[in-house]
Amino acid sequence: MIFEKVLKEIVDRSEGVQGAVIMGMDGIAIGEHIVDPACSIQTVGIEYAAAIKSIQKASRSLDAGQVQEVFISTQSNIFILRLVTDDYFIAVALGPEGNHGKTRYLMRLAVPRLIKEFE
């Protein structure tokens, strides 16, 4: 399936990625690729889906335009959330040493391919 293929490409071409998922705002994953078995990327996606919704609402209130990406850096991980459509997003978890710049770039390139699957 195209979803797993795209996620595998992002994971394989980035350094330090622990896992990636394509998920609906309803918390249902439609594809995932895990490198580190300890990475519960689906749980990450579910928890941060609510945050994306709040950020989207704030962005609309501020007339700031449509949210494209959310970057979260914690002590132990980096999480990048990239919207594909209004209803679906990619979530990637990296270790603190991960190459988040390259990962962001690869995620941005993947979005047009994924949008075609939702049309």
- Under a CB-based contact definition with an 8 Å cutoff, are residues 117 and 44 in contact? no
**pTM for the predicted model, two decimal places:** 0.92
Environment class of residue 104 by beta-carbon count within 10 Å: exposed (0-12), middle (13-18) or buried (19+)? middle
- Under a CB-based contact definition with an 8 Å cutoff, are residues 84 and 114 in contact? yes
d(CA 11, CA 20): 7
User: Chain-wide mean pLDDT for the chain?
Assistant: 93
- Walk me through the domains of the chain, giving residue ranges and CATH numbers: 2-118 (3.30.450.30)
Please write the tens of the pLDDT for every residue from 22-45.
Answer: 999 999 999 999 998 888 888 988
d(CA 7, CA 92): 9
